[in-house]
């Protein structure tokens, strides 16, 4: 955690803040009661005295509450946003490193092993050795494919090299092969724009989470991902025909289990300056719709 952000969080201690607010209210009321006799008209009713008392107390308390409560809370909110951005960036960097190590390290070792087994299979005169080498090569090939799949799941290289749309196409291709569901990508763009790396990563993770939820929890058989581009925004939606859930109850925290995946989606999108709508009903499937204004992207990544 960055020291600057930690210091901001440490300054806001609930106990001290409570005592400061009480002290400020007490002191302000004492000052008002001392000043009130000098500002009241000679003939004043109880209601007018109460009104003047309230006005004076408000004038005194407003700047104090701003400095004691509002300003520290705004600093904490800003620090939380920066910490979230820092954590997401660190997470993606670690995913990128692990994916690279899997591909370049273990993947290359398995490739050398497969080449050696193929050489043994081709050059050996013993039929039993050739069969065993072929079987081991088949198992090694499956392990190699699994490592490549894991590396793409952690951080697909195509996302950095070619952009969001090719990465989504590769991801949905893997989903169709691994889970045997109908997963399609609909592109409503004349020419897909290259967005900033952070925005493309965020949209890719949102789709990844939405598709994974549809498969694991909703038993969906058809998933449709739509990417819509306009001059003002990029919109991505994930719709499925699964079992669905009570979206309002789940997102409000009243469900039996906490929807950490969906909450992560909301935090990622809001961190990028976008909006997210999650619609679902039991037996009616689910739909996640994300909209990120292009103006906000330019402002954040200028």
Task: Quote the number of domains for the chain.
Answer: 3
- Cross-strand bridge partners of residue 58: none
- Is 197 found in the same domain as 164? yes
- Is 94 found in the same domain as 55? no
Give which of 255, 250, 244 is closest to 283, Cα–Cα.
244
Output the CA torsion sign for 278, 229, 227, 234. negative
Rg (CA), the chain: 30
What pLDDT does residue 96 have?
Answer: 77
What pLDDT does residue 42 have?
Answer: 63
Pairwise CA distance, residues 5 & 236, whole Å: 32
- Is 249 found in the same domain as 129? no
Choose the final residue of a domain: 63, 88, 113.
88
What pLDDT does residue 287 have?
Answer: 92
What pLDDT does residue 180 have?
Answer: 85
**Mean pLDDT for each 10-residue chunk of the chain (302 residues)?**
49 67 77 73 69 76 77 75 74 79 81 88 87 89 84 81 88 88 87 79 90 87 90 89 81 62 83 88 88 66 46
What pLDDT does residue 253 have?
Answer: 61
> The domain containing residue 53 runs over which residues?
3-88
Choose the final residue of a domain: 40, 62, 88.
88
What pLDDT does residue 99 have?
Answer: 77
- Is 52 found in the same domain as 146? no
What pLDDT does residue 11 have?
Answer: 56
- Is 190 found in the same domain as 106? no
- Is 97 found in the same domain as 194? no
Find out whether 287 and 296 touch, Cβ atoms under 8 Å: no
Choose the final residue of a domain: 64, 88, 112.
88
pTM for this entry: 0.67
- Is 130 found in the same domain as 197? no
Q: How many residues does the chain have?
A: 302
CB within 8 A of 263, min separation 6: which ones? Answer: 251
What pLDDT does residue 154 have?
Answer: 80
What pLDDT does residue 27 have?
Answer: 79
Residue 280 maps to which CATH number? 3.30.565.10
What pLDDT does residue 1 have?
Answer: 45
What pLDDT does residue 35 have?
Answer: 76
């Amino acid at each position: 955690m960055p020291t600057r952000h930690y210091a901001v969080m440490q300054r806001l201690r609930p106990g001290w803040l409570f005592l400061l607010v009480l002290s400020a209210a007490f002191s302000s009321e004492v000052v008002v009661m001392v000043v009130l006799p000098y500002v009241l008209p000679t003939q004043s009713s109880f209601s007018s005295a109460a009104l003047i008392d309230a006005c004076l107390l408000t004038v005194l308390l407003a700047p104090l509450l701003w400095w004691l409560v509002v300003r520290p809370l705004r600093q904490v909110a800003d620090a939380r946003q920066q910490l979230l951005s820092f954590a997401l960036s660190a997470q993606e960097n670690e995913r990128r490193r692990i994916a690279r190590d899997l591909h370049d390290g273990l993947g290359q070792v398995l490739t050398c092993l497969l080449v050696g087994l193929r050489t043994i299979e081709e050059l050996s005169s013993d039929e039993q050795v050739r069969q065993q080498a072929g079987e081991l090569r088949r198992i090694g090939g499956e392990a190699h494919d699994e490592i490549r799949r894991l590396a793409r799941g952690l951080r697909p290289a195509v996302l950095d090299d070619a952009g969001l749309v090719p990465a989504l196409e590769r991801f949905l291709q893997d989903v169709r092969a691994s889970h045997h569901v109908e997963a399609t990508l609909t592109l409503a763009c004349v020419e897909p724009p290259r967005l900033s790396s952070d925005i493309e990563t965020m949209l890719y993770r949102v789709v990844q989470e939405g598709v994974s939820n549809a498969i694991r929890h909703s038993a969906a058989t058809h998933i449709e991902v739509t990417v819509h581009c306009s001059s003002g925004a990029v919109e991505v939606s994930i719709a499925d025909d699964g079992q669905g859930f009570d979206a309002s109850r789940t997102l409000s925290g009243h469900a039996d289990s906490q929807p950490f995946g969906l909450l992560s989606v909301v935090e990622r999108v809001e961190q990028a300056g976008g909006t997210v709508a999650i619609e679902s009903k039991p037996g009616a499937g689910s739909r996640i719709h994300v909209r990120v204004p292009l103006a906000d992207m330019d402002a954040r990544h200028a």
